[in-house]
Amino acid sequence: MDFPLNREALDAICLTLKLAASATVILLILATPLAWWLSQTQSKWRVPIGALVTLPLVLPPSVLGFYLLVAMGPHGPLGQITQALGWGVLSFTFTGLLMGSVIFSLPFSVQPMQNAFESLGARPMEVAFTLRARPVDAFFSVALPLARPGLVTAAIMSFSHTVGEFGLVLMIGGNIPGKTRVVSTQIYGHVEAMEYAQAHWLAGGMLIFSFAALLVLSMTGRRVGRVLP
C-alpha cells in the first residue's frame, strides 16, 4: 500500500493543528476570567450563564453549526456587521471556522478551570488580601498558579476537542481544500470516495492522538494527586 499522506492530507493536518492551536489560545484567554467569575459570584445570572456556557455539550453540533451559519450569512446579524466593516461574510472561511470552534469548545475550557478554582476554597485569597494584595495581583499570583492543573486540563481538552470536530466544521466551513478542509472532513471525503486506505491512515492517526491526549490527562491527574495534600 502506497503511503497516502499526499499534499492534500498534509494540508488538512496543518490546518487542523493551526485551528486547534488558535482556538485553544483564544479559549484560555476567554475562559479563565469567565471560569473565575462563575466560581466566585453569587449573582442570579450565574446559573443561566453557566447553562449557556455548557449548552454545546448537549446541543447537536449540526444545530449549533446551522445557527452560526445563519448568523454569519449575508442576512444574519453577524454577517451584516462583518460586511459593514468590509470583512465580507465569515461562513466558509478559516475565521468563521475558528469562531465556531471557540464557541463549540468553550465548556471544555471553562468547566475544568471552574472546578479548579472552586476546589481552592476561600482561604488562599483571604490570606493574600490580609497581605494587602490587590484582587488582580492575588488572582495572578495565588489563584491562577494553584489552579494550574485545571488550566492544563482545559488546554488539552480544548485542543483535542477542536481537532476532533466534524459536524460543526462541515456545516459552517464546508470542505474547501487548503481553506477549511481539516482532518475530520478529509476522512469524510475519503470515505465518500471509497478511498478506505487513505481514510485508515488519517483515522488511525486521530485514534492515536485521542488516546495520547487521554493518557496525558490521566498522568497529569495522578501527578497533581501526589503533589497536592
Residue ranges of the domains in the chain? 7-227
- pTM passes above 0.75: yes
Contact 56, 106 (CB under 8 A): yes
Note whether 154 and 109 are within 8 A (CB): yes
Amino acid present at 133: A
pLDDT of 222: 56
Distance from C-alpha of 220 to C-alpha of 218, rounded to nearest angstrom = 5
Provide the CB-side half-sphere exposure for 165 (13 A, CA).
41
If phi > 0 it is left, if psi is from -120 to 50 it is alpha, else beta; for residue 76 that is beta
CATH superfamily of 7-227: MetI-like (1.10.3720.10)
How many other CB atoms sit within 10 Å of the CB of residue 216? 14
Cα–Cα separations (whole angstroms), residue 102 to 10, 91, 123, 124: 23, 15, 33, 31
Are 150 and 112 in contact, with CB atoms under 8 Å apart?
Answer: yes
Place of cell 502506497: 2
What integer pLDDT is reported at residue 225 of this predicted model?
43
The label of the residue with cell 492551536 reads: 21
Instruction: Report yes or no: 59 and 107 within 8 Å, Cβ to Cβ.
Output: no
Cα–Cα distance between 214 and 220 in angstroms, integer?
Answer: 10
Residues in the chain predicted with pLDDT less than 70, given as ranges, are 1-4, 220-229
The pLDDT of residue 86 is: 87
Q: What integer pLDDT is reported at residue 228 of this predicted model?
A: 40
Beta strands in the chain (DSSP E): none
For 180-205, the pLDDT digits (tens) are 999 999 999 889 888 888 888 899 98
> Cα–Cα distance between 137 and 187 in angstroms, integer?
47
**Rounded distance between C-alpha atoms, residue 133 and residue 58, angstroms:** 40
